[in-house]
Structure 1
Amino acid sequence: MPQPAAPSDALNQSLYDELHRCAAAQMRKEHAGHTLSATALTHEAWLRMAEQTRTAWQSRSHFLGVAALMMRRILVNHALAKQAAKREAMLVPLTLTEARQVAGGVDADVLRVHEALLAFEQQDARAAKVVELKFFGGLELGEIAEALDLSRTTVKRDWALARAWLHRELTG
């Protein structure tokens, strides 16, 4: 008869599954040819989270909030590395369609959102944190409220403000 999983194994599996859910939600926003998969993003974030030896985890929301920050850093670093690789790549003739595909893409969008979010942090750090948890972590408003120890109404208000500000910055 199989032995039941130890509580720590079950907890780790539950947290891993939740992290994978967040990564999958984030990767659905990315273009189809993205070189990171949800599983690769999950593994990288999980490894970085395991390195957090001085962090006293307070709750599931605290864990997911830090995981959102890790995923943001991973995606931004990945996009920056791809840009650097493009600058160092050999020149190859491209069709107009291929050039549009290379020039666009969500990697550029991740960097634009990241840069806009850095600017927004100077205006409203709390609302910027809400965006980070929602956009990069895939958390729902209730989860964000719990993670930041705020009311759901405050998080909803911050999210609306941030969306309007970011929309103006990213489309203007």
Structure 2
Amino acid sequence: MPSAAQSSEVTVLLARVRAGDSTALGSAYAAVYDELKRAARAQLRRMRDAFQTTALVHEAYLKLAGGAQLAAVDRNHLLALSARAMRQVLVDDARARKADKRGGGQDAMTLTAALGSGDAAVVEVLALDELLASLHKLDERAAQIVELRYFGGYDEAEIGDMLGISERTVRRDWRKARAFLLMELAT
């Protein structure tokens, strides 16, 4: 867990980003970089994918920096947006790899270290992404919790802090979301 000073520093940097300071996003991201690498490493280990940790974190940054105006208000919000960006990067990569397997024509640009590895991870990421979209329509907070746990690698206490809810609520919503996902996978 970061100190209050570190969290405050990120909040100030994000305020500068919202005010138009283009260099502040890089500084804010650098302040949470080690935590993002830890989360990415845990996620990729679970997936048994050859996607490189550093590449995933950097691609997530590029997604955040290249998109619409960043609206993160504090450290926790930046981490949540980064988890969502990592999800998008992994889904985009999985779709490209799947299209390549179907003879998509040109070689797809991929960030994985070894092409052809992690085929099961491709299917898992795409299936989970579709299920999360369905869950988001039913229960937005439960979908956020799944995204933060699965794609962000955060534990219940960290998620509770990020979302401003108790660990008990995180556990309850996690059980509900997991039941929904398992039910949908079984059909």
Which of the five TM-score ranges fits, normalised by the shorter chain? 0.7 to 0.9
Structure 2 unaligned spans of 5+ = 1-8, 14-25, 106-115
* Alpha carbons 1:22, 1:137 under 8 Å: kept: yes
Q: Work out the CA distance in 1 between the residues paired with 2:154 and 2:126.
A: 20
* Alpha carbons 1:141, 1:156 under 8 Å: kept: yes
Q: Work out the CA distance in 2 between the residues paired with 1:29 and 1:76.
A: 15
- How far did residue 110 of structure 1 move? 0.6
2:35 is matched by which residue type in structure 1? E
Evaluate the alpha carbon distance shift between residue 51 and residue 104 of structure 1 in structure 2; reply closer, same or farther with a 3 A threshold.
closer
SS of the counterpart of 2:102? helix
- The percent of aligned pairs where both chains have the same amino acid is 39
* Alpha carbons 2:60, 2:85 under 8 Å: kept: yes
2:130 is matched with 115
RMSD: 2.6
Structure 1 unaligned spans of 5+ = 1-6, 91-100
Q: 1:132 aligns with which of 147, 154, 179?
A: 147
Structure of higher RCO (CA pairs closer than 8 Å, 6+ residues apart): 1
2:159 is matched with 144
* Alpha carbons 1:41, 1:74 under 8 Å: kept: yes
Instruction: With the length of structure 1 as denominator, give the TM-score of the two structures.
Output: 0.77
Q: Work out the CA distance in 2 between the residues paired with 1:12 and 1:147.
A: 16
1:70 is matched with 85
Instruction: With the length of structure 2 as denominator, give the TM-score of the two structures.
Output: 0.72
* Alpha carbons 2:72, 2:81 under 8 Å: kept: no
- How far did residue 25 of structure 1 move? 0.9
* Alpha carbons 1:16, 1:46 under 8 Å: kept: no
Q: Work out the CA distance in 1 between the residues paired with 2:104 and 2:69.
A: 40
Q: Report matched runs for 1:13-24 at 5 Å.
A: 13-24=30-41
Q: Work out the CA distance in 1 between the residues paired with 2:117 and 2:78.
A: 35
